[in-house]
């Protein structure tokens, strides 16, 4: 039996997971510097111990309503080929282990904007775990 571990987080009450091997760290809200003319999903840049990290708002990326006034997002910092990137999420969950045999394609009932960003889903006891394809969640690089 093959098991897979995911770092979980919620965005607007929906449970998402990213492969633990892609996670650099999980941190509290950080002050951000706005980036003029950046993609709408880019909330700004954070300084992570001297490393400049782009912060992507997952609510915007998933076409979900904005966070409530005063609600601070948490940072899920991913390792990517182009360096660290932070996903701004509502709450950090646990690292969970799931059986690969329970993995399924993303259901067609999901909004197409969200479905395009997913690798698939796991049916957990009380809810679905939507597995985020972190590369698709990041804005296109304009090199």
Which residue ranges in the chain fall short of pLDDT 70?
A: 1, 112-113, 140-143
Concatenating the DSSP letter of every residue in 72-120 gives PPEEEEEEETTEEEEEEESEEEEEEEEEGGGEEPPPTTS-HHHHTTEEE
Q: State the first-to-last Cα distance of the chain, in angstroms, to the nearest integer.
A: 42
3-state secondary structure of 63: coil
Residue 135 has a pLDDT of 86
Residue 142 has a pLDDT of 39
**Could you give the C-alpha distances from 21 to 6, 24, 55, 95, 111, in angstroms and in order?**
8, 8, 19, 11, 27
- Between CA 130 and CA 81 the distance in angstroms is 23
Residue 129 has a pLDDT of 95
Domain 3-137: state its class. mainly beta
Supply φ then ψ for residue 17, to 5 degrees. Answer: -140, 150
Residue 112 has a pLDDT of 67
């Amino acid at each position: 039996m093959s098991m897979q571990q995911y770092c979980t987080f919620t965005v607007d009450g929906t449970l998402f997971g990213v492969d633990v091997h892609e996670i650099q760290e999980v941190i509290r809200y950080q002050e951000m510097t706005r980036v003029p003319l950046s993609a709408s999903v880019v909330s700004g840049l954070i300084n992570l111990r001297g490393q400049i990290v782009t912060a992507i708002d997952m609510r915007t990326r998933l076409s979900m309503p904005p966070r409530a006034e005063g609600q601070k997002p948490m940072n899920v910092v991913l390792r990517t080929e182009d360096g660290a990137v932070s996903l701004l999420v509502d709450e950090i969950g646990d690292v969970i282990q799931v059986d690969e045999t329970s993995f399924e394609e993303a259901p067609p009932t999901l909004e197409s904007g969200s479905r395009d960003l997913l690798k698939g889903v796991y049916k957990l006891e009380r809810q679905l775990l939507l597995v985020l394809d972190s590369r698709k969640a990041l804005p296109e690089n304009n090199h």
